[in-house]
């Protein structure tokens, strides 16, 4: 019985150590131009960066009472510029290895646009009406 418990705790500690190592490895990879990326990893990172930006800009646009289609275009231009800067200038990857600019810039675009509109409308309605 004791052997089973010690084997179980040993297995859990190995998994915890491995998880800590993987999470540290991933966070150090975000700004390392020499890191190797596969298509799924880079897509996930770009997707979640866009989602975070969608919520931030939506709350910001809602708190500052801005209205109109110009601000939607501004959101799309700013987030696409940030994503382009991130993968082209910071990571210095060859976009052709990942499907080109269209694939990388489109990663997570529609879901972040939805989050942006949702948070913008919600914050604007709650704060100004």
- What pLDDT is attached to residue 31? 85
Whether 51 and 7 share a structural domain: no
Q: How confident is the model at residue 21 (pLDDT cuts 50, 70, 90)?
A: very low
Whether residue 51 is found in the same domain as residue 112? yes
DSSP state of 98: G
Whether residue 92 sits in one domain with residue 47: yes
Task: Indicate the pTM of the whole model.
Answer: 0.77
Q: What is the mean pLDDT of residues 9-29?
A: 55
- On whether both 26 and 39 belong to a single domain, the answer is no
Q: For residue 13, with 0-12 CB atoms within 10 Å meaning exposed, 13-18 middle and 19 or more buried, which class applies?
A: exposed
Q: Please say if the pLDDT value at position 16 is more than 60.
A: no
Q: How far apart are CA 89 and CA 34, in angstroms?
A: 12
pLDDT at res. 29: 84
Give residue-wise pLDDT tens across range 25-69: 467 788 888 888 999 999 999 999 999 999 999 999 999 999 999
111 and 64 within one domain:
yes
Reply yes or no on whether the pLDDT at 7 is more than 90.
no
Q: Is the pLDDT of residue 3 over 60?
A: no
* 60 and 85 share one domain: yes
Same domain? For 69 and 26 the reply is no
Same domain, 81 and 51: yes
**Whether residue 124 sits in one domain with residue 98:** yes
11 lies in which domain range? 1-30
Q: DSSP label at 5? A: H
Nearest to 125 by CA among 84, 67, 57, 71: 67
Q: How far apart are CA 40 and CA 27, in angstroms?
A: 16
Residues 22 and 38 in one domain: no
d(CA 107, CA 81): 13
Mean predicted lDDT score pLDDT of the chain: 85
pLDDT tens, residue by residue, 81-95: 999 999 999 999 999
């Amino acid at each position: 019985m004791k052997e089973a418990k010690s084997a179980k705790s040993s297995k859990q500690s190995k998994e915890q150590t491995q998880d800590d190592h993987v999470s540290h490895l991933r966070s150090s990879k975000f700004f390392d131009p020499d890191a190797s990326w596969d298509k799924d990893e880079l897509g996930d990172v770009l997707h979640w960066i866009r989602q975070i930006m969608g919520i931030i800009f939506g709350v910001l646009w809602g708190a500052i009472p801005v209205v109109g289609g110009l601000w939607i275009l501004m959101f799309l231009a700013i987030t696409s510029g940030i994503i382009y800067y991130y993968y082209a200038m910071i990571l210095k990857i060859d976009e052709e290895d990942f499907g080109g600019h269209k694939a990388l810039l489109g990663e997570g675009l529609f879901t972040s646009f939805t989050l942006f509109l949702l948070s913008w409308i919600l914050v604007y309605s709650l704060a100004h009406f």
